[in-house]
Amino acid sequence: MSDAAGPGAGSSTAAAELDARDELAHRRKDFVLDDGTVYLDGNSLGALPRSVPARLAEVVEQEWGRLRIRSWSESGWWSAPERIGDRIAPLVGAGEGQIVVGDSTSVNVFKAVVGAVRIARGEDAEHGVGPSPAARGSGGRDEILVDAATFPTDGYIARSAARMTGATVRAVPVSGMGAAAGANTAAVLVNHVDYRTGELHDLRSLTADVHRAGGRVVWDVCHSAGALPVELDAYEADFAVGCTYKFLNGGPGAPAFLYVRRELQPRFDTPLPGWTSHADPFAMSDGYVPAEGAVRGRVGTPDILSMLALEESLKVWEGVAVSAVRAKSLALTDFFLQQLHAYVPDGRAGRLRLRSLTPEAHERRGSQISLLCETEGHDGTDVAEELMARLHERGIVGDFRRPGVLRFGFTPLYTSFGDADRAAKVLAELVHARGDG
């Protein structure tokens, strides 16, 4: 399908015009990208910021290689988890002193869910061990609600947290979570953006509903941090957990972050008390006394190499407004869908149909487009896997999820409208070849 003929003719000109007006276009040069590749998998692993290799070399050669142990104080290693947390804070609508960086997303989800249950029951650090009279009178708040479509690990962690706290887990569709929260609800674990469909959930209203029921909310913001406004403080989120290797571009296995709302920090009783979250870590005392503030979200020795790579990566956000990122994200995903619809009318090609699982409404859309492959009598999984493999061969990098879902992540700091147009064209060519063949 050429640029000059067929459905979507002139689309390259339209893409070029949009790119010329893009206020974030200059940020693309800050990333390591191949000219021949359209990278639409930043919702799984963000691209490498160009300044990171030199910074890592400095850390290895100078801070580790020459200063060695002195770098914990002289190079600021010890304070990195909180310092980097404060860099992330404005990207998720949080004030300083409420985010600590370290450990994996899964570990932080565990800390947050157990901490939320303990606070809801009054079994928290401020009130001491054992449920408060209010908690006993309400049946002990023995239920954890989880997003029925959650990323599998979140469900695994929630069930483990339930076993530790004597609670039960109930899976509920996000649309019904507010109504499902009641007198027995201790904690609710929910994804801000559905990893599979790209649907954006209403953080503000759900948090308010759960609070009215007396429960606490843990938000998984892995697919929204760095892609759209999150507003943790404004909407009074209790806890939030996010990874940093997706839209924040921190690198593979980069440490996650944990947000604990300031008012709840004195009550946060972590299930993983470690020496670096002790009020006096170098006293090496037998008894655990938690530090004040977000520091109590730490556990063990910080993972310095990946943490400092993340810190350098976050410099690409200097001077960038999250509102501008959101505006471009919506424009990119609109344009991609518009072009795809032009090339594949009604999403149909012979026996193959593509159907968007991502809501059209902007207020319900994250920064990805998920397309369900459907074929006559099949769920489309094999077709989706084949199409994604062919896309990779043609230089279009996305991913797929069973059953039959093609996922394309749009990272506004480096994705161009030309990228979106090229991806739509190549996908359309492959769909027509597969469906009409």
Q: What is the mean pLDDT of each run of 10 residues along the chain (437 residues)?
A: 40 92 98 96 98 98 98 98 98 98 98 98 75 48 97 97 98 97 98 97 98 98 98 98 98 98 97 97 95 96 98 98 98 97 91 94 98 81 93 97 95 98 97 83
What pLDDT shows up at residue 404? 93
Nearest to 319 by CA among 47, 18, 91, 52: 91
* Active centre residues (catalytic): 151, 220, 245-246, 407
Phi, psi at 46, each rounded to 5°: -70, 155
Query: Where in the chain are all domains bearing CATH 3.90.1150.10?
Result: 11-50+321-436
Distance CA 134, CA 402 (A): 44
Give me the DSSP letters along 319-343.
T--HHHHHHHHHHHHHHHHHHHHHH
Query: Where in the chain are all domains bearing CATH 3.40.640.10?
Result: 78-317
Nearest to 260 by CA among 298, 314, 229, 223: 298
Q: Please report the beta strands in 148-247, taking only residues with DSSP state E, as ranges in sequence order.
A: 168-172, 185-191, 216-220, 239-242
Phi, psi at 362, each rounded to 5°: -60, -35
Cis-peptide, bond into residue 403, ω within 30° of zero? yes
Q: How far is CA 79 from CA 259, 264, 301, in A?
A: 16, 22, 11
What pLDDT shows up at residue 435? 79
The Cβ of residue 37 has, within 10 Å, a number of other Cβ atoms equal to: 13
Q: Which CATH number fits domain 11-50+321-436: 3.10.20.440, 3.90.1150.10, 1.10.3210.10, 3.40.50.2000?
A: 3.90.1150.10
Contact between residue 372 and residue 354 where contact means Cβ atoms under 8 Å apart = yes
**What fold, for 78-317?**
Aspartate Aminotransferase; domain 2 (3.40.640)
